[in-house]
Amino acid sequence: MDVKVQIGDVKFNYRVAGVWLNQDYVLLHRMKHEPFWSLPGGRVAVGEESSTSINREFMEELGIEVKVDRLLGTSENFFVHNDKKVHEIGLYYIVHSEDTNTLRKTGEFSGEEGDDLVYQWVKIDQLPSIDVRPVFLYDTLKDLPVGAQHWVNHDH
């Protein structure tokens, strides 16, 4: 069971995301019906360590195993999605994989969960020209911090 709960008019969500870099590209994904991109990942399950969650999410979504290199940072993310307020706590990990098939893919491609979720390797310096959320990702990815960061983001 995922860590998510409705509290009044706010949905609380505990999410992990993986920053998988390939030279000067980063892997992003989006739902086909959504205009914005984000980092691959998903909700943490109750009783599950977050580093286990990120590996499980990549396995479910792309059918690949990733290794966690380090924690990039944590976020307190406040936004509205589908006219609903969301309060999300996120852990962002730098990950890597030996899966060369995914590294060689170009353009948009689908994962293991069907065509509704699409992936793409995006050049980091092109991130400002597309809708990527949360918005702090561009500044973080263009110059990776050495230590873990803490972000508070309000996208209303």
Task: Grade residue 156 by pLDDT with cuts at 50, 70 and 90.
Answer: low
β-strand partners of 110: 118
Average pLDDT estimate for 40-62: 97
Average pLDDT estimate for 37-48: 97
- At 115 the pLDDT is 84
- At 114 the pLDDT is 82
Q: What is the CATH number of the domain that holds 117?
A: 3.90.79.10
Model confidence at 15: pLDDT above 80: yes
Does residue 153 contact residue 133 with C-beta atoms inside 8 Å? no
pLDDT tens string 99-145: 999 999 999 999 998 889 999 999 999 999 999 999 889 899 999 99
- At 113 the pLDDT is 86
**% the chain with pLDDT above 70:** 99
The domain of 110 spans 4-155
- At 31 the pLDDT is 94
The closest of 124, 156, 123 to 140, measured between CA atoms, is 124
**Tokens, residue 145:** 């911090």
Query: What is the C-alpha to C-alpha distance for residues 73 and 149, in angstroms, rounded to an integer?
Result: 4
Model confidence at 62: pLDDT above 80: yes
- The total number of structural domains in the chain stands at 1
Query: What is the C-alpha to C-alpha distance for residues 136 and 141, in angstroms, rounded to an integer?
Result: 9
Task: Grade residue 21 by pLDDT with cuts at 50, 70 and 90.
Answer: very high
What contacts 33, CB < 8 A, 6 or more positions away?
116
The closest of 140, 55, 41 to 89, measured between CA atoms, is 41
Task: Grade residue 27 by pLDDT with cuts at 50, 70 and 90.
Answer: very high
- At 152 the pLDDT is 97
